Chains A and B, each alone.
Chain A
Amino acid sequence: MHARAETAASWPDEIFSILQRFEVRQVPYVPDAGHSQLIERVLGSSTMRGIALTTEEEGVALLAGAWAGGQRGVLLMQSSGVGNCINMLSLVQIFRLPFLTLVTMRGEWGEFNPWQVPMGSNTQGILELSGVKVLRASHPEEVREVVEAGASQAYNACTPTAVLLSQRLIGAKVFTK
């Protein structure tokens, strides 16, 4: 059994409010425990469409279609999913899409699972090599500011942006068995 050290965090609600304010309509996601509270808010929203994906690169393409059709979106995924997206991030660069993704980090800060470490260690580098600017939030009190900045530069300045929500913020998974 794996379990996160649960606390009733307010930052996922702050992210939801920011997405509302930026009029985000399509929210494709591959679930991660760190995103679960935000996903619940999205699925309960009347203005946003939560879209469960089979793999993260579908979400990059979906956001391309969403924007070309006139709607903003954001891709929610775990750091391991960034690796799945590499070829599809070409779309973001060549079509000049206002791409925003929120990435919950694994493979850092107290990680127990060795499988998560290579991808977690390379997440930022891969995104930057793929033309995506990277911001990071490590403490609850900075989430609102960092996600606001990310959404602003993505949607207003058409700057592809990933916000990494660090494992320090989310709380490292606890290995209980």
Chain B
Amino acid sequence: MTNTQARNTKVMNRFDLTQRLVTKLKDEAVIGGIGNTNFDLWAAGHRPENFYMLGSMGLAFPIALGVALAQPKRRVFALEGDGSLLMQLGCLATIATLAPKNLTMVVMDNGIYQITGSQPTPAAGHTDLIAVAVASGLANSSWAADEDDFERLIEQSMSATVPTLIGVRIDDKPGTGTTRRDPVQIRERFMHGMGVRQPL
């Protein structure tokens, strides 16, 4: 959305926002979407409650939905890129129907497929993903105007009675870290973090 006119949303940085989120967390689950989104989650500090996606583009929100339904008392955050969400817009309707109040979704929108060479997405400059979310039935969806507003929206979501979706415009910087690519280790650690599995 970088070329859209009349936007009052500040262009922020993914790693900075991710750090601001992680600083606020205790035992909340975080599902990091494919690519830079989970690289920055990884770089913001390893937590057993983090689940890192290294493939299967577009499914961070549906995974987070499964966790949110399985653990209704735990807050679940899902971080997803704009390109990934575009692959699975339908999941917004699914989530709106089930309406888990313990789910907070964050869309990191830079309007590009940064990791493959910064090609613009088909939506860049045309499609307002927050408007799509609202129209899908996720009424509690809004753009964060700046970093302070992002933090305010995150905190507000912690006691929301409906699912929350927060859009953030971000710059074109790549991810900061490199997630360790061992899916079974990631999943086992996450299940320990969720308290549903004990180490042998």
User: Which residues in A have some Cβ–Cβ distance to B below 8 Å?
Assistant: 25-26, 49, 51-55, 57-71, 73, 87-88, 90-91, 94-96
Contacts and interface: CB of A to CB of B under 8 A. Distances in A.
Contacts of B56: 61, 87-88, 90-91
Contact of A71 (B55, B70, B190, B195): B70
B55 A51 contact: no
B69 A58 contact: no
17 contacts: A49-B69, A52-B94, A54-B94, A58-B59, A60-B59, A62-B62, A62-B66, A65-B64, A66-B69, A68-B63, A68-B187, A69-B66, A69-B67, A70-B71, A90-B55, A90-B56, A95-B184
Given A26-B70, A94-B183, A52 B97 contact: yes
B183 A69 contact: no
B25 to A, nearest CB: 17
B22 to A, nearest CB: 19
Nearest to B182: A94
Contacts of A51: 69, 94, 98
B161 interface: no
A54 B95 CA distance: 10
A66 B67 contact: yes
Contacts of B139: none
Interface residues of B, number: 34
Given A52-B97, A88-B56, A91-B56, A26 B90 contact: no
Contacts of B88: 55, 57-58
A59 B97 CA distance: 15
Nearest to A59: B62
B158 interface: no
A69 B71 contact: yes
A65 B66 contact: yes
Contact of B94 (A26, A53, A67): A53
Given A55-B90, A61-B56, A70-B194, A96 B187 contact: yes
B194 A58 contact: no
A60 B68 CA distance: 15
Contacts of B31: 65
